[in-house]
Structure 1
Amino acid sequence: MLLKVAPAFALLNTHEENLSSVISFSSHGSALKNFSAKNGNGLVVCASKGSNSKPLTGVVFEPFEEVKKELMLVPTVPQASLARQKFTDQSEAALNEQINVEYNVSYVYHAMYAYFDRDNVALKGLAKFFKESSEEEREHAEKFMEYQNKRGGKVKLQSILMPLSEFDHAEKGDALYAMELALSLEKLTNEKLLNLHAVATRNNDVQLADFVENEYLQEQVEAIKKISEYVAQLRRVDKGHGVWHFDQMLLHEAEALA
């Protein structure tokens, strides 16, 4: 391969006096010819037939040289992850904490589902809403577990606190009280997600930060907005007959959307 560097206008003008500089590299690697002339501005690199087996320093990528450092870091003990790369202990611990948050919130929502599904409460729409919310939070926890394993971390499940079993509030009633509690839980989850994102940012873990942003943050903001509207509606209808209509709205919401 023969590389030439020549003035840009030399491609349009064949007169020798317009040549500023022509540098040719032959296949021998040592023959260098330099032609000078009066006027010259700008260079053009072009290729012609020939062969050159020697690499150009600073241009050719040498993977076998650059991979040596990574090759030395490949673990040999069976307990260590082979996939782990630039994944700090802080990020791993923060992920396990977030998994615990998701499971705890799921547990509380499941308790709410059980309460509203009782025969002496019988608010099937609220029961359906909190059951779906519990399943969603559990799915979030499992997705974090999958990501933890994908990055080479170890999932460490922690204790889950026993939730309330009664949600009937003397002043607010059960529907409004449970929905306000749900709003608080969603805001708490959002705060924990932002903390996880901050840990990833501090540790320059771009992949973890991107995962949290794309999979959770937008969805969390939308959930807070929706439950805020439910709280506002339940405050309007008070504890009486309006709660039943609100419950029916939740029960048939999926059908209405369809």
Structure 2
Amino acid sequence: MRVARERRVARERAGDGKRTRSSAQSSARWRARVEASERPNVDADASAAIIEATSTHPVSQTTSYSFARSGFSAECERALNAQINVEYNVSYIYHAMWAFFERDNVALKGFADHFKAEALEERSHAEQLMEYVNLRGGRVELQQLLPPQTEYDHPEKGCALYALELSLSLEKLNNDKLCELHRVAEDAGDAHMCDFLEGAMMDPQVQSVREVAEMVATLLRMGPPGDGMAAWHFDQYLQNKA
């Protein structure tokens, strides 16, 4: 009885092995048929063209390579990153000026609100440039910001005139930097970058220079430099304007 049972178990195991091998062979034949049916019918010339195209334009698997980059020079990329730093530094200074005029012992809310708006505007310009760098397939590289001064009172000019003249200098500096950036784009033959700068950046910047220049002229007409009442009246003008 024991011998018969062992023989029966051996026959069952042998049958299972045959079925497993048969199933594996069938599965392999099925995969081969599927792969053959899905394989595109490409002639030799087309295959050679595909191989050449993929070898000429390799696809990187890392984030260091941009799929969208086209006609965007490294020099333009560096110049745009430098301008982003300029915009953020100017915004940083305007933030400090806003905090100064918001103090309880300065109490010129119109000036505070004006410089806060200027700070946000300069930051938005930096973000526009960052978006453009990404649009062109570049890499944004933020740089260190310089700490701005905290005091804006001047013994002769007073805080109002001193701050506006500083603002005018910053706007002119920004305009000069944008012109330099435009020249870099021109030298690189980057028509799209030139168009972007002219439409989105340079025209608003020229308008800002003119606006601040008129503010300086208006304040000087209200009274001599350092006149506290002139600063107060101009502050009221800024509050009403807002």
Superposition TM-score tier, normalisation by shorter sequence: 0.7 to 0.9
Q: Distance in 2 between matches of 1:216 and 1:77?
A: 35
1:132 maps to which of 100, 103, 117: 117
Is the CA contact 1:117–1:123 (under 8 Å) kept in the aligned structure 2?
Answer: yes
**Which 4+ runs in 1 deviate beyond 4 A?**
68-71
Question: Do the aligned partners of residues 167 and 74 (structure 1) sit closer, same or farther apart at CA in structure 2, a change above 3 Å counting?
Answer: same
Equivalent residue, structure 2, for 1:249 = 237
User: What does residue range 1-258 of structure 1 map to in structure 2 within 5 Å?
Assistant: 72-73=56-57, 75-78=59-62, 79-236=64-221, 237-238=223-224, 239-254=227-242
Question: Do the aligned partners of residues 137 and 208 (structure 1) sit closer, same or farther apart at CA in structure 2, a change above 3 Å counting?
Answer: same
1:169-223 Cα deviation digits (max 9, x unpaired): 0110000000000000000000010111000000001111110000011111111
Query: How many residue pairs align between the two structures?
Result: 188
Q: State the identity %.
A: 52
* Aligned-pair CA distance for 1:107: 0.3
Higher relative contact order (CA 8 A, sep 6+): 2
Q: Distance in 1 between matches of 2:90 and 2:228?
A: 28
Q: Distance in 2 between matches of 1:81 and 1:142?
A: 20
Question: Do the aligned partners of residues 124 and 208 (structure 1) sit closer, same or farther apart at CA in structure 2, a change above 3 Å counting?
Answer: same
Q: Distance in 2 between matches of 1:75 and 1:69?
A: 11
Q: Distance in 2 between matches of 1:185 and 1:75?
A: 43
Q: Distance in 2 between matches of 1:182 and 1:214?
A: 23
* Aligned-pair CA distance for 1:119: 0.2
In structure 1, the gaps of 5 or more residues are 1-64
* Aligned-pair CA distance for 1:245: 1.0
Q: Distance in 2 between matches of 1:181 and 1:245?
A: 20
Is the CA contact 1:106–1:138 (under 8 Å) kept in the aligned structure 2?
Answer: yes
Q: Which amino acid aligns with 1:235?
A: L
Is the CA contact 1:74–1:82 (under 8 Å) kept in the aligned structure 2?
Answer: no
* Aligned-pair CA distance for 1:241: 1.0
Question: Do the aligned partners of residues 243 and 77 (structure 1) sit closer, same or farther apart at CA in structure 2, a change above 3 Å counting?
Answer: same
* Structure having the higher Rg: 2
